[in-house]
Amino acid sequence: MFDAVIIGGGPAGSSCALWLKMLGFRPCLVERRQALGGLQNDNPYPNAWIAPVRDKTGLEIAADIDRHLKEHDIVCRLGEAVSELEVVKGGFRVTTTGGEIILGRTCVLATGVRPVKGGFTDSDTVIIGPGQTLFNAGFEGRSVAILGGGDNAFENYIFVRKRGAGRITLFARTIRARREFLEKVPPADVRIGPYAVDPAEPSVDGARFDRILVLYGWEPYLPYARHLNLRRDPRGFVETSVDCETAIPGLYAIGEIAQRMHPCCVTSMADGVVAAKAIQRTLEQDAVARFAERVRRAAAPEPAARREPFPRTR
């Protein structure tokens, strides 16, 4: 029985495992990939958003997370996806696709998000979500349709333009991107409103494109916990208390799966800390009460020595 089973070894889950280990507990981290670091393994771009980290790409940050946790001898099951999570007496039972069963007194969901597919399938011409595949694709002289109206869509317009794309058209039902990106995209290359896509051609609104990029944002990913009927917000993100605890006592949700704050590495890692401290409080409750009782007893005056009853004399 581990003190906590943490499902997902991205920035959130890794930070939670590290804090628990440093606080004297025994966590077990289960990660589907062969390495820790989560979505940063898909980020070949510089990540300049973490105050104390300089000149590193997301890939390098992922490698640092992986190395750091291994240096702390944290128990990790890499290359194992969790297929089922059950609430059992005294804690939680986690089953992996490899058939391993792991028990924890508490459990932390940290499986992050995945790109919204919008009914499309990845292919040579259709690329879903940002990351390595998009980064490695050739755009020189190609016509590109970008679907989506958020930061990712606009930022990747700028990216494929730099990579030498020819005609680029951005199709957005609504626009939500931040000003910095809006200023860099010519309005003539943007269509606002409904549009029709034929991925087989491939074409959008009848115009042919060499590549279609689907950048519809992200959705939480926790198929293994579907039957627990966790409380979710309208977009499907797991609702928690400020301590990151779900409605099920001892079950926590952290990082992008909960999306309580602006989702990024730092807020995800902060969630990991909050959950680790909440778990510490829960697991140490009894120890604190026992210690307080010993303090009370130590402070109480010694009971007076028992006197023998005065011998009665006649």
Ligand X SMILES: Cc1cc2nc3c(=O)[nH]c(=O)nc-3n(C[C@H](O)[C@H](O)[C@H](O)COP(=O)(O)OP(=O)(O)OC[C@H]3O[C@@H](n4cnc5c(N)ncnc54)[C@H](O)[C@@H]3O)c2cc1C
Residues that bind ligand X (CB under 6 A): 7-13, 30-33, 38-40, 42-43, 45, 47, 49, 58, 81-82, 110-113, 130-131, 221, 224, 255-256, 263-266, 268
Least distance from ligand X to the Cβ atom of residue 173, Å: 22
Q: Cα-flanking dihedrals φ and ψ of residue 294, to 5°?
A: -65, -40
Report the residue number, 145 or 215, with the smaller CB distance to ligand X. 215
Least distance from ligand X to the Cβ atom of residue 73, Å: 20
Residues near 238 by Cβ (< 8 Å), separated by ≥ 6? Answer: 109, 220, 222, 230, 231, 232, 246, 253, 257, 258
Least distance from ligand X to the Cβ atom of residue 117, Å: 15
Report the residue number, 112 or 149, with the smaller CB distance to ligand X. 112
- Report how far residue 33's alpha carbon sits from residue 10's, in angstroms, rounded to the nearest whole number: 10
Report the residue number, 96 or 282, with the smaller CB distance to ligand X. 96
Report the residue number, 204 or 244, with the smaller CB distance to ligand X. 244
Least distance from ligand X to the Cβ atom of residue 188, Å: 27
Report the residue number, 152 or 204, with the smaller CB distance to ligand X. 152
* DSSP letter for each residue of 219-243: EE--GGGGGG---B-TTSPBP--TT
Least distance from ligand X to the Cβ atom of residue 210, Å: 22
Report the residue number, 172 or 257, with the smaller CB distance to ligand X. 257
285-308: b (≥16 Cβ within 10 Å) or e = eeeeeeeeeeeeeeeeeeeeeeee
Least distance from ligand X to the Cβ atom of residue 54, Å: 13
Instruction: Give the torsion sign (CA, 190, 48, 271, 255).
Output: positive
Least distance from ligand X to the Cβ atom of residue 230, Å: 15
Least distance from ligand X to the Cβ atom of residue 263, Å: 5
Report the residue number, 75 or 203, with the smaller CB distance to ligand X. 75
- Report how far residue 124's alpha carbon sits from residue 104's, in angstroms, rounded to the nearest whole number: 42
Report the residue number, 32 or 117, with the smaller CB distance to ligand X. 32
